[in-house]
Amino acid sequence: MKIFSAALMLILGFAVLVTWRMPIHNFNLWRLSKNFELLSAFHPVSSKTLLRFSDFGNFGESGGQCGYVIGEFHASQLTKGEIIDHYKNATIQSFRQGEIIPLEVLFLDDGNFTQYPWSKWLSYLHKKMRSPIQSPVIYLLIASSYNHLADGDIRCYISK
């Protein structure tokens, strides 16, 4: 019984040693998401939020790197040019003190949705919208931050 207890303590100790920093990525994503939500009053009046997503992990960075991505699909009556002009200088505060993240706008009909996580998010949009959207312009507003240390989080070592 003592051998079993010692082995169990060794295994648990190793697990804690390897994973003790893992919750920091969930916390960072939550903070980034809260900062992104502050944009809700900034969107164009004619813009309607369709879906919001957030994710973190290894999005093709080198091994041991973690990235964070927050995004929202919107439908709008504005033209692409008007939407780009509206968001051209828009930023949000990162989860890191003093770091500013610029926003990026992707349009649904521009073919930007072939890579993860955009492809996954687009499939969720299609599932949610059972009928065609009557808005002329659908766009994805994104805030992303890449190349953060994995800190032992296995989710940041496996490329998505």
What DSSP string describes the chain?
-HHHHHHHHHHHHHHHHHHTTTHHHHHHHHHHHHHHHGGGGTS-TT-EEEEEEEEEEBSSPSTTEEEEEEEEEEEESS-HHHHHHHHTT-EEE-SSTT-EEEEEEEEGGGT--SSTTHHHHHHHHHHH--S----SEEEEEEEEEEEEE-TT-GGGTSB-
Position 102 scores a pLDDT of 95
Write out residues in the chain with pLDDT < 70, as ranges: 4, 6-10, 12-22, 61-62, 115-116, 118, 130-135, 160
- Tell me the Cα Rg of the chain: 20
Return the ∠ at Cα 43 (arms to 42 and 44), rounded to 5°: 120
CB-count burial class (<10 Å; 0-12, 13-18, 19+) for 2:
exposed
Separation CA 74–CA 89 (nearest Å):
18
Position 133 scores a pLDDT of 61
In contact, 84 and 47? CB cutoff 8 Å = no
Phi and psi (nearest 5°) for 73?
-85, 135
Distances (CA, A) of 35 to 6, 19, 47, 71, 152: 45, 26, 19, 12, 26
Position 80 scores a pLDDT of 93
